[in-house]
Amino acid sequence: MDLDFTEEQTLLCSTVHRLCEEQVDARHVRVMEADAAGFSPAFWGALGELGLCGMRVPEAFDGSALGLLEAAIVHEEFGRCLAPSPHLQSAVQSARLLVLCGTEAQQAAWLAPIACGERIVVPAWQEPARSADIARCEARLSATADGWQLNGVKTLVPFARAAHAVLVLAQSEEGLCAALIDPSAPGVSLAPLANHADQNLWQLTLQNVHVGEDALLRKVADAWDTVMHETLVLVAAACAGGAARMLEMACTHARTREQFGQPIGAFQAIAHYLADMATDVESARHLVWQAAWAADAGKPFHQLARQAKLQAAEVFRRATVKGVQIHGGIGFSLDADPQLYYRRARHLQLMHWDPVYLKERIAAEVFGE
């Protein structure tokens, strides 16, 4: 396993880092937390112009067909600045599901617009009290004379109001399927969900929503499992990036904040906190790279993906707790940046399979169950 970046990967990292520095500062993050759409059209447009929205889309549909490692590089940079965008949901999850099990007509209609950022498609898979195990999905697709009828409730759907389409996972007589629906279609109601991270999340209530035959993706269970494990790697990358940024802020504060005539970083307790954070960040980052490399090499990566997400999210959480403590009273203030990372760390730890579910899946793999 060679985890040294190629010249192209290094260029990708520096390009995304520069874009995020130019367009996504702490003020931007605060503004987007209160924004109805939840992301900036200018930033999203820049991602489309750079080809980042099509990095997981085949070249036949105007994408660049980059690997999971390249996507992890991008999402680590997003995590460093808490970049708000539907890139994970549209350019990765929805695009990959369409690539893996969409019909030729569906791929032709959606993949190219997704790749250039013209269309945003977000998945709706979580349900109240059934947010992890997709096998317990209760949303239902029922056959009708002219297609299908969709009923159910989906929760924690990001950027649903701004999306051009929502990929709703639901059970049918054929098994787990996905339906492409317009969020403004008759029978669809959206309600914003308050959350501690102030993320753009919605609850979808679906009552007798008509789904045409051309909008149905059949038998998506295996494809969705693959998509979710790829998602775990990218969420872990974002967590590693956020933890790395928290470490940088804590180090800067420890060098500049003086107490008893010397920088607080000179005190052993603070120095040990920073040493622990630095060790944690590197261990999480390397686990992310290992999982992404295995996926791109065609090797088994699901267990690595679960471990990476579990570890990186915990590292991000610990780093923000210690970072807030190092900053002292200002660290808890809404006017300071550490609390932004503190709130996002807990959010990412709970989203996309919480620690309890991840541990259950990891243990089942270890014991062969």
d(CA 112, CA 54): 8
Token pair for 331: 């660290």
Hunting for tokens 């947010």 — which residue is that?
131
The per-residue b/e assignment along 207-240, b for 16 or more CB within 10 angstroms, e otherwise, is eebbbeeebbbeebeebbebbbbbbbbbbbbbbb
Q: What is the pTM of this model?
A: 0.95
Amino acid at 9: Q
Full set of structural domains in the chain with CATH: 7-119 (1.10.540.10), 122-219 (2.40.110.10), 222-367 (1.20.140.10)
Q: Which two three-digit tokens encode residue 235?
A: 């969420």
CB atoms near residue 321 (< 10 Å): 17
Q: Which two structure tokens, joined as six digits, stand for 313?
A: 């999210």
Decide: 337 and 26 in contact? Cβ < 8 Å: yes
What does the alpha-carbon distance between residue 148 and residue 143 come to, in Å, rounded to a whole number?
4
Instruction: Print pLDDT tens along the chain (369 aa).
Output: 667 889 999 999 999 999 999 999 999 999 999 999 999 999 999 999 999 999 999 999 999 999 999 999 999 999 999 999 999 999 999 999 999 999 999 999 999 999 999 999 999 999 997 767 888 899 999 999 888 999 999 999 999 999 999 999 999 998 999 999 999 999 999 999 999 999 999 999 999 999 999 999 999 999 999 999 999 999 999 999 999 999 999 999 888 887 888 887 778 888 999 999 999 999 999 999 999 999 999 999 999 999 999 999 999 999 999 999 988 877 778 888 999 999 999 999 999 999 999 999 999 999 986
